[in-house]
Chain A
Amino acid sequence: MGFSLFTPLAWSDLPFVLQGVLNTIYISVVAIVIGTILGLIVGFIRAEANKTVNIILGAFLDIFRSVPLIIQLILFTTYVGVMGHPLDPFVAGSIVLSLYTMAFMSEVFRGGFESVSNSMKTASRSLGMTYWQTVRYIRIPIGMRTVFTSWLGVALSVIKDSALVSVIGYMELLRTSEQLISRTQQPLEILIGVGIFYFIISYPLSRYGKYVEKRMAI
């Protein structure tokens, strides 16, 4: 009669959990890299464009920031599904998470571009630099320095928000743990392990961000 439907947590579950850890890191890095590149471009456009373009672009970007990420994920996967092009959860998750990241990053970078004073732009142009040389050698290096901590803050929140990609079936850490929980019925141990993982990644980085912020303030 020693039969049980549930089996306890075992060492042999470790590879399964590690795969979830890797998947979480993987999709976060993809979203942060793509989101940063797109955000830099959009932020630059927003800093340069006139008021009308900015209002339209702003309203569009606000969609990503005013609709819960979970709804965005569900909407996107359902939409590509009914249009007859179902996507792999990783691809769909990366697209949505990257656009979401882009919306926040663009605000960060816009602030960075606007922090470079007009006189500095004029000065570099009068030294004979072309428009793009000014962007490349003056505005990006100087503007981006001031926004590093905000960038890090967005990046950290993306790592945490990547947990939501589990709802469309991507096997990241939280979904992995969910499956383990339904087999082992040991929610507390597993969830605490998951929490520790996120904490180990997020805490040192946020401390580093605070350290940089303090150093730049002085």
Chain B
Amino acid sequence: MGDYQFHWNVVFDAMPQLLSGAWTTLHVSVLSMLVGIVIAVFLALGKMSDNKLAYGISNTWIEIARNTPALFQIYMAYFGLGAFGIHLSPYFAVFSALVFINAGYLAETFRGGFNSIPQTQYSASKSLGMTKFKVYRYIILPQMFRRIYHPLTNQFVWSILMSSLGILVGMSELSGETQRLQSLSFRTLEFFIVAAIMYYVITKIILFSSDLIAKKVFKGDI
């Protein structure tokens, strides 16, 4: 019964819309990473601080982000916040959910990276007469960056893949756009095959260029 006729033309005609969907996927992921990184730094500092309140807030944020499904976060942002009279657009709901999760995961990454550098290095640099700023600038941060580089790349890829959940709240990123376009022609299979290929290519490009940058910046020493 496998007499399905593939019709690719309708997909190629819709290529501009698909590409604009892919663009939305990219920029929601990039933005959510950037904002997520900034918040993650504060969460990591909070989790390492002696202040009970800062620790409590950071810890709660991190554990909720890491222990509940991404789809749940998106529903929470899109439907749940409505109970407080906050109505987010699909784009902003997905964006804030991704920021929330990225910040939670990256905070742990940053903390792990920071803790992996022995305290003795700090003392050693101080005894060489370095100021606190110089110790961080030349000793601690460069090493830390090496250790968090790959987790950062993985988190970025993860954001790209998870932004596909926008399909469920009517966001017009790659998946949502694919869903909308296929409903016009009912060429579901063709459209989603093309979308899958596009995700695969995007992911590969990111991983490949990340390796290339790592080779240039760290000179193979990672």
Interface residues of chain A, those whose CB is within 8 Å of chain B, are 62-63, 66-72, 74-75, 78-79, 82-85, 156, 160-161, 163-164, 166-167, 174, 178, 181, 186-188, 191-192, 194-195, 198-199, 202-203, 206
Whether a CB of chain A sits under 8 angstroms from the CB of B11 is no
CA of A164 to CA of B70 in the docked complex: distance in angstroms? 9
Residues in chain A near residue B157, CB distance under 8 A: 66
**A66:B200 contact, CB within 8 angstroms:** yes
**A84:B72 contact, CB within 8 angstroms:** no
Residues in chain B near residue A163, CB distance under 8 A: 69, 71-72
* A to B contact number (C-beta, < 8 Å): 108
Task: Across the interface, name the chain B residue whose C-beta is closest to A75.
Answer: B192
Residues in chain B near residue A156, CB distance under 8 A: 67
Residues in chain A near residue B64, CB distance under 8 A: 195, 199
> 8 Å CB contacts to A: which residues of B64-79?
64, 66-72, 75-76, 79
Whether a CB of chain A sits under 8 angstroms from the CB of B171 is no
Q: Majority SS of interface residues in chain A?
A: helix
13 pairs from A and B in contact (CB 8 Å cutoff): A62-B204, A63-B196, A66-B200, A70-B164, A75-B189, A75-B193, A161-B69, A163-B69, A166-B71, A191-B75, A198-B69, A202-B67, A203-B67
- Which residue of A166, A187, A206 contacts B80 across the interface (Cβ within 8 Å)? A187
Whether a CB of chain A sits under 8 angstroms from the CB of B167 is yes
Proximity string of chain B (1-18) to chain A, C-beta cutoff 8 Å, 1 when within and 0 when not: 110100000000000000
**B69:A84 contact, CB within 8 angstroms:** no
**B200:A160 contact, CB within 8 angstroms:** no
